[in-house]
Amino acid sequence: MLIIFGFRVVYFTLDRGVFHCPNCGGDRDYRRRQGRNFFTLFFIPLLPLNRTGPEIAECDTCHGRWTTAVLAVPTSAQLGAMPGTLLRMAVVQVLRSGDVTFPGARERAVEVVRQAGADYDTAALDADLGRSFDDIRVEMARSADTLAPEARENILRAAAEIALLDGPLTFSEEETLNAVGADLALTRVQITGVLSLARESSGH
Ligand SMILES: [Zn+2]
């Protein structure tokens, strides 16, 4: 009798949740999974062997797979909890730092602000871009006090992600994000933490 044996990777689900799927471009259910090599006999996995690779997050909808760093990106629902005005000011400051050259940066900025529940379009963005820098900083400082630290960190995170769309942060983008963080009443440590998470998930 012919014996057929081999090896196969079987994925196990560790837990589930909702994340921002980079491929679908919206909130989707995901499974956090870990692969394990199995010895198979007649195509049936019999003996568990070593674990393979890092844990991954798999989208239930498109079945795209990412490293678990992707889970740190705010979902649309989380963005929805942010006060729109403050987010809008943060995003505008990053865009006007002048280094965001990615063609989709303006559209992404409008989309992020709209997800926060604000009525916003490219015309409104242009109007914001025409406002004075000091004017915007005063408005940010006034609203920042009313928000929980996590909400303020999420706003800086959203602004950093827009700056990271076109590649690594330039000196001027980084300087702007530090100023935005300070206007959001975040500490130096909080700002550094948020920026390094944003860099990690963008791959820059
Ligand atoms: Zn997806």
CATH class of 76-202: mainly alpha
The closest of 190, 154, 159, 152 to 174, measured between CA atoms, is 159
- The Cα angle at residue 106 between residues 90 and 182, in degrees rounded to 5: 15
Residue 14 pLDDT exceeds 80:
yes
Q: How far is Cα 28 from Cα 53, in angstroms, rounded to an integer? A: 24
**Confidence tier at 81 by pLDDT (50, 70, 90):** low
Which of the pair, 50 or 188, is modelled with greater confidence? 188
What is the Å distance from ligand 1's center to 109 Cα?
A: 21
What is the Å distance from ligand 1's center to 199 Cα?
A: 21
The 10 Å Cβ neighbour count of residue 197 is 17
The 10 Å Cβ neighbour count of residue 104 is 12
The 10 Å Cβ neighbour count of residue 82 is 24
DSSP code for 170: P
What is the Å distance from ligand 1's center to 61 Cα?
A: 5
Kindly list the domain boundaries of the chain, sorted by start residue.
5-72, 76-202
Residue 150 pLDDT exceeds 80:
yes
What is the Å distance from ligand 1's center to 121 Cα?
A: 26
What is the Å distance from ligand 1's center to 52 Cα?
A: 23
Please, are residues 162 and 109 in contact by the beta-carbon 8 Å criterion? yes
| Chain centre distance of CA 107 | 16
pLDDT tens-digit map of 94-117: 888 876 667 788 888 899 888 877
**Confidence tier at 175 by pLDDT (50, 70, 90):** very high
What is the Å distance from ligand 1's center to 25 Cα?
A: 7
Q: How far is Cα 60 from Cα 83, in angstroms, rounded to an integer? A: 30
pLDDT tens-digit map of 53-74: 789 999 999 999 999 988 877 7
What is the Å distance from ligand 1's center to 44 Cα?
A: 29
Strand pairing partners for 38?
A: 8, 48
**Confidence tier at 21 by pLDDT (50, 70, 90):** very high
**Confidence tier at 198 by pLDDT (50, 70, 90):** very high
What percentage of the chain reaches a pLDDT higher than 90?
36
Which of the pair, 159 or 72, is modelled with greater confidence? 159
What number is the average pLDDT over the span 146-155? 85
What is the Å distance from ligand 1's center to 142 Cα?
A: 38
Per-residue model confidence (pLDDT) at position 58: 96
Per-residue model confidence (pLDDT) at position 103: 72
Q: Which residues contact 37 (CB under 8 A, 6 or more apart)?
A: 7, 8, 9, 48, 49, 50, 51, 52
**Confidence tier at 199 by pLDDT (50, 70, 90):** very high
> Measuring CA to CA, how many Å separate 46 from each of 13, 25, 33?
18, 38, 19
**Type of residue numbered 85:** T
**Type of residue numbered 32:** R
CA-only gyration radius of the chain, Å: 21
Per-residue model confidence (pLDDT) at position 82: 63
